[in-house]
Structure 1
Amino acid sequence: MKLGDFRIYLFLVFILATSHLSFAQYSPYFQNFSLSEYNAGNQNWDVSKAENGKLYVANNNGLLEYDGLKWTFKELPNKTTIRSVLAHGDVIYTGSYEEFGFWKRNSKGELLYHSLSESIKSEISLSEEFWQILPYKNAIVFRSFSNIYIFENGSINKIKPVSTVISCDLVDGMLYVSTLRNGIFRLEGDSLFQVISNEELSDVKVISISKIDNNLFITTALKGCFIYGPDHKLIPWDSEINTLIKQHQLNSFSKLNTGNMVFGTIKNGVYGTDRNGEIIFQVNKENGLANNTVLSQCVDSTNKLWLGLDNGVASIDLNSHHSFYNDISGRLGAVYDVINYKNTIYVGSNTGLFYLDNNGDLQFIEGSQGQVWDLRIINGQLFCGHNNGTYVVENKKITLISEFTGGWVIKKVPEQNNIYIQGTYAGLVKFENESGKWTVNHLGKTTIPVRFLVFEDKYTAWAAHAYDGLYKIRFNDSYDSIISNVSYANKGLLSNYNVRVYNIKNNICFKTNEGWQKYEPLLDSIVPYQFLNENLGKDAYIISEDNTSQIAVKSKKDLINFISLNDQKVELSLTSNFFENRLIVGFENISKINDSIYALSLNDGFMLIDAKNYSENLILQKPMIERIEIDKTLMDLTTSSPIEFPFNKSISISISSPKSDNHFFEYAISNIDPSQWYRLEKEKLELTNLGDGEYTILFRASNNFGGKSEIASQEITVLPPWYKNNIGFALYGFLSILILIIFYTLHKRKINKEQKLLQLKFEHEQKELIKEKTLENERKIVELKNEALKNEVKLKSKQLANTAMALVKKNETLMELKKELVEHKSGFDNYYSYKKLLKNIDNSIGHQDEWEVFEYNFNQVHEEFFNQLKKQFPKLTHKDLKICAYIKMNLSTKEIAPLLNISIRGVETHRYRLKRKLNLDNDISLGNYLQNFK
């Protein structure tokens, strides 16, 4: 929509409201950008829009770039103020203090400065500043107050005017140069030729030269506008705007393709006019512009007007489907409702009730001071729900018809033409029209403050407490009393606080802090309503009339969507930049003015919205890839090959879409799931932990209406980790060979070691075998020796036995002989001889030498037998030892007796005594004991 179309649009908007409304009271949608947003200086001397949609601003501190979503700031090398800027193709030209040149992006997307004036430094005047840049044929013109420099084909040509240069303008391809004292010149070749020398332009600051029909159209700072025709006459322009710009000092001018014009002033903001100078709109500080001093302006290809202000930047959407009534003075205050009644716009605010007169001026209705909550047409009359009660408005005057304070909401009773129920601070109030007169009665059973009210049927209503609670109310047949009032706090309601109640397509619906619910009559309970949670959002609530085919819904992020209840399609979407920090939180309201025009209440005015065919005019530009960083290292954007980076690095891709309207970005990764698009919260995609491989990243600009731009793509390759690339494979090969070598070496060492161990084992076994053989031989020798000893012992034992037996025989013989001698005693003549013979026999029987020989041999056989006996039993007598030896030799008592020269009984007596000396029990055999004694 062109600038001229905006006036027609406003006319169509308000044709039903008033046929005499002054359109200048309304402004198109505009947006301020403060210093805190773009983070640079306050003054913005020049603005220029590039073909790709980016805005460039000559700022006190440097160069500003805006891509529609974010600002970027660049400084000159000498950090001086930039006075002029021109975006021409992909080059940005700037002029500053004793310096001019251009900015251009390198292969990595960085915007870098290149000086042109450095090559002609000696020709630039002292303190010369360059205030204007414009294209001329195949050249670029840089203008200061002193000179004109033309840059063409790499060379710079300097032209010196006769006096101070005020402006340069292109008209029909010719360059006009306005001077302060010598009129207006035209450049022909390298020379300036005077075309206008009228005295009226002497010492006049010419702002611009353009063309209307076949005439030159000249604008000046303080003397207004002039027409210069073929008759060479300079005629003041007869128009509405001419007087105003003389008063407010014109400083910038733009002429649109439609013939409409934009005038930027020093003292009173900006005016938009038609080709005849009739004012279409005005935007100044009074209706919201950040600053009244317009230093520069330009209109881009999308018909958006950009303003460089003395303190900030602003944009005005000349294609806007919306207009604003702004009251920065505070007289109107915060608006709660707007209505069109009998071709007059009425506005209810926290300060009272107002209307707009035929000139568009705001007029206060006397007696309406205080909070206005609700404006509604009932039975052809305008009702005003007010803090003080309820008024009827007629002929721009009010009449109090109800003293019940706080008329929040009023609803018609179904199937009853003249009965209405109102929710107030003190409960429900009945309004009934009888013969053209209203009677009002309080339904005294309820005194709770009721802010939201809907009817389920003609006798049942639902009322939401202003803060805490929900009630189902039943009326009697005449509506003069309440039959029942039931709280539904404990019947499934997720939260009692901030409950809103609506009738949506004959469903009683509730919005609570926990999301959407609805009433289920069969259960007489409140249940979650998934349909609205999914289609409206758990945090969203309705801010327009509910029981219609289209509703306005506000989300938590201050996004307002107009949604069709027939197909849940978003028919219009308003992002927060339209009304940032201007909504009345909790009391947001959209009222219907006519079939396509709605009014959104703001805290300093209201916004008019054209909801018809809004989405058809939205532009979505294919995203541009601005820069790619791998771990903060910029990559080359000019290469056609995929961007390669190591697998353990992160990648960020910055994008922009400067020409897009109310858009957001989405991305998808084609190699993973090209149908799955993800919303970007900012203009940069950051990816980490991607697996190695090739990827194609897809980008698009989208809007809330389902619109999608053409897709932009970027191919990237995540290099495999070292253990998966050629180096890794080579290393694997090397390691494999090394492992084989090591394995072979270790295996060989192992074999050698095993062989050595086997050899050692063999040698050891041989030694052991030899040792065993030796031991075996030694054992056999020992055995042989032992055998020999045994044999010797046997022999000695035999000899000992033989000796003992010989002694026994000898002693027996001697004893027999003695016996015989005793028996033949009388046969001896000589008694002495007899005695001597007996004595010799006795001595022979007990001969000591024979015993010593016996004892020696006995010890040889039985290894120190006597010594051990004497050691253990020192009380044994010599005779005891003899008996022990004989018993050990297994001699019987009969055999022992002769050896001791005693009787057998004497031996037995001695054995008994010996047993006692050896401390043996009665049941122990003396023979066995001595046989085993060691």
Structure 2
Amino acid sequence: MKKFLLFVTFFSFSCITYAQDLLGIPQVVNYNNEQYNGGMQNWDVQQDKNGILYFGNNEGLLTFNGQFWNIYRLPNFTSVRSIGIDSKNRIYIGAQDEIGYFFPDSRGILKYTSLLNLIPENLRKIADIWDISILNDEVFFRSINVMLHYKDGAMKTYKPAETWSFLGKANNKVYAQAKNVGLFVYDKEVWKPVCSDDVLKKSSITSISNYNGDTLLVSTLKKGFFLLYNNQLSTLKTKLDNVFFNDRIFFASRINNNLYAAGTTSGGVYLMNKQGDLVQKYNYREGLQNNNVRGILLDHDKNMWLALDDGIAYVAINSAIKSISPDRNKQITSYAFRKINQNVYIGTSNGLYTTKINTSAKDLSLSISGFEEVKNTKGQVWGLDEINNQLIMAHEDGASVINGNIATPIYSLPGTWMFQPLENVFPAKNILSGTYLGLQKISFVNGKFISEGKIEGISETLRFIVVDNNDNIWASHPYHGVYKIELSPDKKKVTKTTLFTDKNGLPNRLYNYVYHIKNHVVIATIDGLYEYNQVQNKFTRFKMFGTVLNGISIQYLKEDNNGNVWFVSNKKVGIIDFHKPSGSNAFSVFYLPELDGKIVGGFESIYTLDDENVFIGANKGAYHINYNKYLDNIAKPTVVIGNIKLLGPKDSTVFGGYFVKNGQMIARQNLSKIPEYKNALNSIHFEFSSTLFEHEKNTKFSYQLVGFDDGWSAWNGKSEKDYTNLSAGQYKFNI
């Protein structure tokens, strides 16, 4: 009999008021039941060692590996209310009249083992199992009328005086609440009383978390938060108490040493610090599809998953990239940014917006914001500059000075793109503005900007202007070329214009953009970067960045305060970081794939306030980047294999996504037992994914079936691959 053998290897590559909002909102991704093909309601969420997610769903156990959803139904087809995962990666579930665990068989396919038969027959009507807690691989299950303890293959039961109303774990101990009695702690097969405060007799506990040392944070359904220390309960008053009393806390979870997430039944999820201050909220207004939060998980990358009454949500709370919406009632495009004093200004397609900054944090995205439209600014705002300690605006109707939330015109018409001071020492007395009709001169006299009218001698629309070290003016037009402009002594007219094109060293007459970078006049072109060579009177390659940008079409450059250079290439954002040498280069190049295609093509804008506050113009709103955090968060994607199927008249799953050896789950395939299949079934289907969920839409894969493919595939976003009519032999699938 002819057979072929298969083994799989993996490679990873880097690729207050509560109507107010925070300045920046992280990515929120919603999944509905049509996407994951399960029930609407979800009750719990957990993650295993390999990064795979598990949801307690109305139709069973739901799994997600970053690309593929699978539903595993229980023998009695009931809802999974609770999930727990032990150190061996057994996935314990609590359902309606059912308890047990899922674990992969020898083919890596999850199989269910019921533990119901370990319960005395007269107690098997256990109703819903609402909570699971695991301590040292001992598993506790809670229903209202019985507590179950699974250890060493045996089950022990504990009956309450009335009902069990809570089960949870904190400080490496398991706690339970009995109605009208209070809080208990498990200790050597005995539930011992901890606190019998009247609050804990009457109010349902919904979570217990570590707070500080031996102090625990206790959440209740209707009465907010409490602190438990030395068996004594005290109220933790928060600025969110009215919200918690009204919306009810269904579940709470500790995010880090100073941050807690409270999931409510009608208000979404609130993040608060230990002092009870609001840090962030996520509800329908911020993008959640449902405000009823049943379960919260902080995943391996410190981002948040929510089990919702209707669907599932992912909130990238640890992301360094956040979106900004100056006007949530309109879709607007952003073109310009400035922070001056305690205000942030954003120039958009629908006027200028401003908000006061109210935060002690260096990351301004954490500030509460309340955007308002600056008066007299309706229309396209193309540019913002702080010159002589004043904010001036380039607008389709001219130029204005901005003071607070009022714009005062410097001149009306022509439309203005940008400003360029002619002196390097402020206060600058002469400022050029690039307009729809050439150049305009502005003087600064007695603390005021005064229009001096049009500079005669050039009528090109000029959006890109810089001044070199010899006071020469350089401007570019993307369809004509690069201009060197000389002005008269009084700066009121052009005395000489020299046009540089592909005849003067540039790779093309079109798409040339002039910038001042590293004390050089640099031209971004369709073939990398060029600079002016005064000796040869032509443009030559800009060599400071080596060859890393050669052959790449560049539309935008921006040098930040630390000497790093941000660039845009075909709507992709990158940075040349001179603080991180790489190999023979004095720098490293990083890309931000999360922003691919989202920025404004042709009107790119990057405002680099500092390393924790970079603002980028976008087609929809704007983006805030904490660059320091972005570098800290860079991680190699974890590649996981999903189902493998043999294709035929009836497809058969021969691998379910989990590697097992001697009854233990392992991270890699056991190469001592390579599977063999009949060659009559010689067509095969692979599924694979990455559990780096924040980059789900940006992750690309390359694969190779050794023994069939001559080399690796091109990088692409596909996460499945079919091979048909394979000859007998041995194959290895690399990802």
Q: CA 1:520 to 1:348, structure 2 compared with 1: closer, same or farther past 3 Å?
A: closer
1:265-414 equivalences in 2 (<5 Å): 265-317=264-316, 319-326=318-325, 329-330=328-329, 333-357=332-356, 359=358, 360-364=368-372, 365-413=374-422
1:593: Cα distance to partner? 0.9
Q: CA 1:111 to 1:588, structure 2 compared with 1: closer, same or farther past 3 Å?
A: farther
Alignment deviations for residues 399-418 of structure 1 (CA, whole Å, 9 cap, x no partner): 21121243222233477954
Aligned residues: 670
Report the equivalent of 1:96.
95
Alignment deviations for residues 344-370 of structure 1 (CA, whole Å, 9 cap, x no partner): 322223333333325433253333333
1:573 to 585, 591, 601: 591
Is 1:67 the counterpart of 2:65? The answer is yes
- C-alpha contact 2:486 2:496 (8 A) present in aligned 1: yes
- C-alpha contact 2:420 2:465 (8 A) present in aligned 1: yes
Unaligned runs of 5+ in 2: 1-18, 359-367, 656-668
Q: CA 1:546 to 1:691, structure 2 compared with 1: closer, same or farther past 3 Å?
A: farther
Report the equivalent of 2:474.
461
- C-alpha contact 2:85 2:134 (8 A) present in aligned 1: no
Report the equivalent of 2:576.
563
Q: CA 1:462 to 1:169, structure 2 compared with 1: closer, same or farther past 3 Å?
A: same
> How far, CA to CA, are the matches of 2:194 and 2:448 in structure 1?
77
> How far, CA to CA, are the matches of 2:670 and 2:154 in structure 1?
28
- C-alpha contact 1:56 1:87 (8 A) present in aligned 2: no
1:159: Cα distance to partner? 3.3
1:1-12 equivalences in 2 (<5 Å): none
| Equivalent residue letter for 2:407 | I
1:119: Cα distance to partner? 6.9
1:308: Cα distance to partner? 1.8
> How far, CA to CA, are the matches of 2:637 and 2:380 in structure 1?
45
| Equivalent residue letter for 1:461 | W
- Bigger fraction of residues in helix: 1
Is 1:431 the counterpart of 2:442? The answer is yes
| Equivalent residue letter for 2:523 | C
- C-alpha contact 2:384 2:418 (8 A) present in aligned 1: no
Report the equivalent of 1:894.
none
Q: Give secondary structure in 2 for the equivalent of 1:130.
A: coil
- C-alpha contact 2:65 2:691 (8 A) present in aligned 1: yes
> How far, CA to CA, are the matches of 1:255 and 1:680 in structure 2?
37
> How far, CA to CA, are the matches of 1:33 and 1:273 in structure 2?
23
Alignment deviations for residues 300-346 of structure 1 (CA, whole Å, 9 cap, x no partner): 45433322233443344454444554557337944322222234322
- C-alpha contact 1:27 1:281 (8 A) present in aligned 2: no
1:105-504 equivalences in 2 (<5 Å): 105-117=104-116, 123=122, 128-187=127-186, 195-212=194-211, 213-230=213-230, 233-256=232-255, 258=257, 260-317=259-316, 319-326=318-325, 329-330=328-329, 333-357=332-356, 359=358, 360-364=368-372, 365-413=374-422, 418-434=429-445, 436-440=447-451, 441-454=453-466, 458-464=471-477, 469-470=480-481, 472=483, 474-478=485-489, 479-483=491-495, 500-502=513-515
Alignment deviations for residues 422-468 of structure 1 (CA, whole Å, 9 cap, x no partner): 22233322233355443432235444443333457744533326xx5
Q: Give secondary structure in 2 for the equivalent of 1:163.
A: coil
- C-alpha contact 2:487 2:496 (8 A) present in aligned 1: no
> How far, CA to CA, are the matches of 2:604 and 2:179 in structure 1?
54
Q: CA 1:445 to 1:126, structure 2 compared with 1: closer, same or farther past 3 Å?
A: farther
1:297: Cα distance to partner? 0.6
1:8-87 equivalences in 2 (<5 Å): 25-26=22-23, 29-35=26-32, 37-76=35-74, 79-87=77-85
- C-alpha contact 2:476 2:512 (8 A) present in aligned 1: no
- Bigger fraction of residues in strand: 2
Report the equivalent of 1:607.
623
- C-alpha contact 1:544 1:553 (8 A) present in aligned 2: yes
> How far, CA to CA, are the matches of 2:38 and 2:327 in structure 1?
26
> How far, CA to CA, are the matches of 2:419 and 2:37 in structure 1?
49
| Equivalent residue letter for 1:91 | R
Alignment deviations for residues 636-684 of structure 1 (CA, whole Å, 9 cap, x no partner): 6555244556599455554455369756555578999999896464444
Q: CA 1:181 to 1:406, structure 2 compared with 1: closer, same or farther past 3 Å?
A: farther
1:658 to 682, 691, 701: 691
> How far, CA to CA, are the matches of 2:550 and 2:143 in structure 1?
58
| Equivalent residue letter for 1:225 | F
Q: CA 1:386 to 1:132, structure 2 compared with 1: closer, same or farther past 3 Å?
A: same
> How far, CA to CA, are the matches of 2:723 and 2:92 in structure 1?
35
Q: CA 1:534 to 1:176, structure 2 compared with 1: closer, same or farther past 3 Å?
A: closer
> How far, CA to CA, are the matches of 1:217 and 1:474 in structure 2?
68
- C-alpha contact 1:382 1:394 (8 A) present in aligned 2: yes
- C-alpha contact 1:571 1:611 (8 A) present in aligned 2: no
Report the equivalent of 1:640.
672
1:48: Cα distance to partner? 0.7
> How far, CA to CA, are the matches of 1:380 and 1:129 in structure 2?
66
> How far, CA to CA, are the matches of 1:37 and 1:483 in structure 2?
65
1:197: Cα distance to partner? 3.8
1:58: Cα distance to partner? 1.8
Alignment deviations for residues 800-823 of structure 1 (CA, whole Å, 9 cap, x no partner): xxxxxxxxxxxxxxxxxxxxxxxx
Q: CA 1:572 to 1:233, structure 2 compared with 1: closer, same or farther past 3 Å?
A: same
1:586: Cα distance to partner? 4.0
1:140: Cα distance to partner? 2.0
- Greater Cα offset, 183-192 or 149-158: 183-192
The higher-RCO structure (CA 8 Å, 6+ apart) is 2
> How far, CA to CA, are the matches of 2:193 and 2:313 in structure 1?
37
Q: CA 1:659 to 1:228, structure 2 compared with 1: closer, same or farther past 3 Å?
A: same
> How far, CA to CA, are the matches of 1:419 and 1:528 in structure 2?
32
> How far, CA to CA, are the matches of 1:481 and 1:121 in structure 2?
98
> How far, CA to CA, are the matches of 2:603 and 2:683 in structure 1?
46
2:614 to 575, 598, 623: 598
Alignment deviations for residues 862-916 of structure 1 (CA, whole Å, 9 cap, x no partner): xxxxxxxxxxxxxxxxxxxxxxxxxxxxxxxxxxxxxxxxxxxxxxxxxxxxxxx
1:395: Cα distance to partner? 4.8
Report the equivalent of 1:880.
none
Q: Give secondary structure in 1 for the equivalent of 2:378.
A: coil
Report the equivalent of 2:7.
none
- C-alpha contact 1:347 1:353 (8 A) present in aligned 2: yes
Q: Give secondary structure in 2 for the equivalent of 1:408.
A: strand
Q: Give secondary structure in 1 for the equivalent of 2:463.
A: strand
> How far, CA to CA, are the matches of 1:323 and 1:668 in structure 2?
36
- C-alpha contact 1:264 1:294 (8 A) present in aligned 2: yes
1:132: Cα distance to partner? 2.0
| Equivalent residue letter for 2:615 | A
Q: CA 1:313 to 1:281, structure 2 compared with 1: closer, same or farther past 3 Å?
A: same
- C-alpha contact 2:322 2:625 (8 A) present in aligned 1: yes
- C-alpha contact 2:290 2:308 (8 A) present in aligned 1: yes
Q: CA 1:421 to 1:291, structure 2 compared with 1: closer, same or farther past 3 Å?
A: farther
Q: Give secondary structure in 2 for the equivalent of 1:535.
A: coil
> How far, CA to CA, are the matches of 1:430 and 1:53 in structure 2?
60
- C-alpha contact 1:62 1:80 (8 A) present in aligned 2: yes
Structure whose alpha-carbon radius of gyration is higher: 1
Alignment deviations for residues 837-858 of structure 1 (CA, whole Å, 9 cap, x no partner): xxxxxxxxxxxxxxxxxxxxxx
Paired-residue identity, %? 24
Q: CA 1:459 to 1:217, structure 2 compared with 1: closer, same or farther past 3 Å?
A: closer
Q: CA 1:368 to 1:204, structure 2 compared with 1: closer, same or farther past 3 Å?
A: same
> How far, CA to CA, are the matches of 1:228 and 1:527 in structure 2?
71
| Equivalent residue letter for 2:47 | K
- C-alpha contact 1:332 1:349 (8 A) present in aligned 2: no
Q: CA 1:584 to 1:308, structure 2 compared with 1: closer, same or farther past 3 Å?
A: farther
| Equivalent residue letter for 1:220 | T
Q: CA 1:219 to 1:540, structure 2 compared with 1: closer, same or farther past 3 Å?
A: same
- Greater Cα offset, 136-145 or 498-507: 498-507
> How far, CA to CA, are the matches of 2:371 and 2:628 in structure 1?
30
